């Protein structure tokens, strides 16, 4: 198979696997912190093996980079914990849609990290996202689980956007696998004091689900993404990644029997459309700058 076509298939498989992570928030009988810790533990081990198998090393180049890795890991720990908590409260469909506001949030936060200016189109995208979120919020009260889940999903999106912008500015000189190996290690160290997972006896099925989440649904897709980017443009990756909430909602409907209403589906369409627009627009701007 042609390397580009093979990379496209690989990338779609990676996004499908990432879209399936939301299912584990419902099928693993643990709280969000314990799920995040288990996911990170197995992902870290798998990513370290992947890095070593690729004849790379885990050592960072500068002392400052270790502090940056700690900061990125802390952000990822909070992002993953709020991501799973969001879906536990509001359901996989709603939680994933709320979290996928991060592309637009990224654009809004970008001027704080880089010398960019917000355009009126960016503000319009933000307004579309706000309308989409309003559609899926049943009432403005944190006593409502769905509203609380949406709020946690948006917080997760902000954390993810800050992490991505920080990684791009301060840590992009490392491979994706080595970067994620360090971040997952920091997540484990951060969450150990707050988790009951090491002190409680879990069924074998729980550990197997955590193993699957950390390897097949976390380490593997990140490794696949890293390999596919050797033959694909970053724009292609970003656009395909926008399919993640679509896959997540489909999985939730088929496997968890979720029944999102028309307002949730319409809100999801608005949020995803704004994300796709900002993805395309960002890469157009980058291309114009490089010409």
Structure tokens that stand for 2 in this block: 């042609």
Distances (CA, A) of 198 to 73, 181, 188, 203: 20, 21, 11, 13
pLDDT for 238 = 65
Under 8 Å between Cβ of 179 and 222: no
Distance CA 49, CA 33 (A): 24
When pLDDT is cut at 50, 70 and 90, the band that residue 24 belongs to is very high
Distance CA 274, CA 238 (A): 13
Model confidence over 78-134: pLDDT tens digits?
999 999 999 999 999 999 999 988 888 888 888 888 777 777 787 888 888 889 888
Structure tokens that stand for 50 in this block: 């992947």
Model confidence over 135-174: pLDDT tens digits?
888 887 778 999 999 999 999 999 999 998 898 889 888 8
Under 8 Å between Cβ of 36 and 187: yes
Under 8 Å between Cβ of 278 and 103: yes
Distance CA 239, CA 100 (A): 13
Q: How many other C-beta atoms lie within 10 A of the C-beta of residue 192?
A: 12
Model confidence over 5-20: pLDDT tens digits?
787 888 888 889 999 9
Distance CA 183, CA 186 (A): 5
Distance CA 76, CA 188 (A): 11
Under 8 Å between Cβ of 122 and 278: yes
Model confidence over 221-277: pLDDT tens digits?
888 877 776 666 655 666 777 788 888 899 999 999 998 888 888 988 888 888 777
Structure tokens that stand for 214 in this block: 């950390």
pLDDT for 276 = 79
Structure tokens that stand for 61 in this block: 């180049």
Model confidence over 41-88: pLDDT tens digits?
999 999 999 888 877 788 999 999 999 999 999 999 999 999 999 999
Helices (H), the chain: 3-19, 24-27, 32-53, 63-90, 92-99, 102-109, 120-136, 145-170, 176-191, 204-214, 220-228, 234-241, 244-255, 262-290
Distance CA 177, CA 27 (A): 27
First CA to last CA distance, the chain: 32
DSSP letters, 33-75, are: HHHHHHHHHHHHHHHHHHHHHTT-----SSHHHHHHHHHHHHH
Distance CA 85, CA 223 (A): 26
Record the pTM. Answer: 0.89
């Amino acid at each position: 198979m042609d390397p580009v076509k093979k990379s496209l298939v690989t990338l779609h498989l990676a996004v499908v696997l990432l879209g399936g992570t939301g299912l584990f928030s419902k099928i693993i009988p643990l709280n969000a912190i314990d799920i995040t810790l288990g996911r990170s533990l197995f992902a870290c081990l798998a990513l370290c093996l992947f890095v070593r198998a690729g004849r790379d090393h885990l050592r960072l180049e500068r002392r400052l980079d270790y502090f940056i890795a700690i900061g990125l890991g802390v952000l990822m720990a909070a992002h993953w914990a709020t991501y799973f908590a969001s879906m536990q409260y509001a359901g996989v469909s709603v939680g994933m849609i709320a979290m996928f506001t991060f592309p637009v949030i990224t654009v809004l936060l970008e001027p704080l990290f880089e010398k960019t200016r917000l355009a009126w189109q960016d503000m319009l995208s933000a307004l579309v996202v706000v309308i989409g979120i309003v559609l899926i919020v049943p009432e403005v009260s944190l006593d409502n689980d769905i509203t609380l889940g949406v709020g946690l999903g948006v917080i997760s999106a902000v954390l993810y956007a800050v992490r991505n912008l920080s990684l791009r500015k301060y840590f992009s000189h490392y491979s994706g696998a080595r970067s994620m190996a360090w971040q997952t290690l920091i997540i484990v160290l951060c969450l150990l004091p707050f988790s009951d997972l090491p002190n409680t006896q879990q069924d074998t099925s729980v550990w197997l689900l955590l193993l699957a989440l950390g390897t097949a649904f976390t380490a593997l897709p990140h490794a696949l993404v890293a390999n596919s980017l050797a033959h694909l443009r970053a724009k292609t990756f970003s656009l395909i990644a926008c399919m993640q909430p679509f896959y997540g909602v489909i999985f939730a409907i088929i496997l968890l029997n979720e029944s999102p209403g028309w307002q949730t589906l319409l809100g999801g369409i608005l949020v995803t459309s704004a994300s796709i627009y900002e993805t395309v627009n960002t890469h157009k701007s980058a291309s114009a700058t490089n010409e």
